[in-house]
Structure 1
Amino acid sequence: MRWGRLYFAVQATAGLAWWIAVFLSPVVRETTLGRLNPTVVAVFDIPLFVVASAVAAFGVRPAAAVSTGWTGVVSLGLATYATVTTQAGWGVLAMGAATVGSLGALCIILFGRVPTEWIITGPFVFRSATTRAKPARHVVSTFGQIVIFWGLFLVVIPLVIAALEQRWGVGLPFPTSAIPFGVMVLVLASTLGISSGVIMSTLGDGTPLPSAMANSLVIAGPYRWIRNPMAVSGFVQGVAVGLILESWLVIAYAVAGSLLWNYAVRPHEEADLEQRFGDEFRRYRDTVRCWVPQIPRP
């Protein structure tokens, strides 16, 4: 609970400092609130955000819930306002980050931790693939996954993010070499992802899908040099797409996704692998790194 309370204490302090800056600096007021009347907004935001966060810092759960709920409402409202008017873009980003932080802090205060196991529910529950399926079927399933996931996470979502970045006026300049360099990196990362998926589906008697995981531990191809080549591929692809779109928000989205996977999903995935493969996986985990490639020991 201590870290959750500390977060709300920092948020209350930052919120108070921001409101002081809003009333003292026209630049801060315009970039974060646009043409919204700061006095009207402050009447609601100071008690529900600043004061509630300060009270939550003492471990008062209702105050933490009020602060978190209000932060989410403000984020959504500012996002709508910025999209319609092209104003207050930086305010959207600030409150969006505060919403994520508040949700995490609220979970810590309520449960003592962030319940990451909620992520691996429903279609994302770890299950072994049907062992009687032929390798060709696993390969087809893997390519179907690639089309769906890449289409959503590397095309649709980045295009939406990049469009909002421009609409909100929060874009940053990129060097002229960003696009060709991004294309090159995207091709290399995609090659790694496809080859890793094919090897997993042909040698592992399964797919990379959580609901149809491999029945055998695969230590071949890219898996000899790195434990999670498809995760590395996805992260690098996201950064490459950000370079191609010249969008720092897309790059931030890729970084956030990799952190979410590393700290929320990977521990559960590796616990499942350890349970299913025992010492074989433990030796592999202790020998091959997760993110940094290395030459395998003979």
Structure 2
Amino acid sequence: MTAVNDIRAAAFKLRGGLWTALFLGVFFLAEPVSAGAVTAGLLLVSLGQGVRFWAAGCITRYRGEQVGAERLVTWGPYALVRNPLYIGNGLIGAGWGLLAGWKALLLFAIAFLVIYGLLIIPWEEAFLRQKFGREYERYMERTGRLFPRRWNGEDLDGPFDLSILWKSERHSVFVTLAGTVLLLFRAL
């Protein structure tokens, strides 16, 4: 394993702590913002959590210190992009950045792209490519990593387990709500 892969594996394992560090960076840079920024920030946070709900309901397992996948999920938001959970995180973080001011938003954007775009996502993709082979490569050809590439209107329908949301997303919801409330107090 190369040094880069060691760093990627550690980033994946510590992604919850890295998310907390991102929030703390945003929080400590927070300054009062306009009512419009608060409104836009709250909308982005809500949209981000909604995307996370949709994505989490389509997969059976995603919390853990090791990358894992029982099957290749290509329906729901995964028909549009390969990493909808991280898009949800990005929207939440961008919303937090709007609640905290432009310096915090800039810090979040740069750190998020480095942590997720250069470390965590490539680590997951290497695992998925190894496990699912050509099936994953075809999936990569038709979907973007974080932005939709092209979509033919198919594949949105697929298994969705509402019970997963409470099991898997309650921690994310709590963190998102707590972070948002703390930033609202700083923003006003």
Q: Which residue, out of 77, 87, 90, partners 1:232?
A: 87
Which residue of 1 is the match for residue 58 of structure 2? 199
Structure-1 separation of matches of 2:117 and 2:91: 14
Q: Which structure carries more relative contact order (alpha carbon 8 Å, separation 6+)?
A: 2
Superposition pairs for residues 45-194 of structure 1, below 5 Å? Answer: 115-121=3-9, 124=12, 149=16, 153=19, 157-159=22-24, 161-163=26-28, 165=29, 174-194=33-53
Structure-1 separation of matches of 2:10 and 2:111: 23
CA shift in 2, pair 1:123/1:287, >3 Å: closer
- Kindly report the root-mean-square deviation, in angstroms, between the aligned alpha carbons of the 2 structures: 3.0
1:294 deviation in Å? Answer: 4.6
In structure 1, stretches of 5+ residues that fail to align are 1-113, 126-147
How many residues in Structure 1 have an aligned counterpart in Structure 2? 151
What's the CA shift string for 1:242-296, capped at 9, x where partnerless?
1112352244224322232212232222111111001110100011111212552
Structure-1 separation of matches of 2:123 and 2:55: 21
Using structure 1 for the length normalisation, give the TM-score.
0.44
Which residue of 2 is the match for residue 219 of structure 1? 74
Superposition pairs for residues 13-32 of structure 1, below 5 Å? Answer: none
Question: Is the Cα contact below 8 Å between 1:179 and 1:246 reproduced in 2?
Answer: no
Structure-2 separation of matches of 1:187 and 1:231: 14
1:116 deviation in Å? Answer: 2.2
CA shift in 2, pair 1:152/1:187, >3 Å: farther
Q: Which has more radius of gyration?
A: 1
Which residue of 2 is the match for residue 267 of structure 1? 122
Q: Quote the sequence identity (%).
A: 23
CA shift in 2, pair 1:159/1:250, >3 Å: farther
CA shift in 2, pair 1:231/1:248, >3 Å: same
1:174 deviation in Å? Answer: 4.6
1:236 deviation in Å? Answer: 1.6
Structure 1 residue identity aligned to 2:27: A
Q: Which secondary structure does the structure 1 equivalent of 2:59 belong to?
A: helix
Structure with greater helix percent: 1
Using structure 2 for the length normalisation, give the TM-score.
0.66
Structure-2 separation of matches of 1:294 and 1:152: 28
Structure-1 separation of matches of 2:11 and 2:34: 41
Structure 2 residue identity aligned to 1:153: W
Which residue of 2 is the match for residue 135 of structure 1? none
1:152 deviation in Å? Answer: 7.5
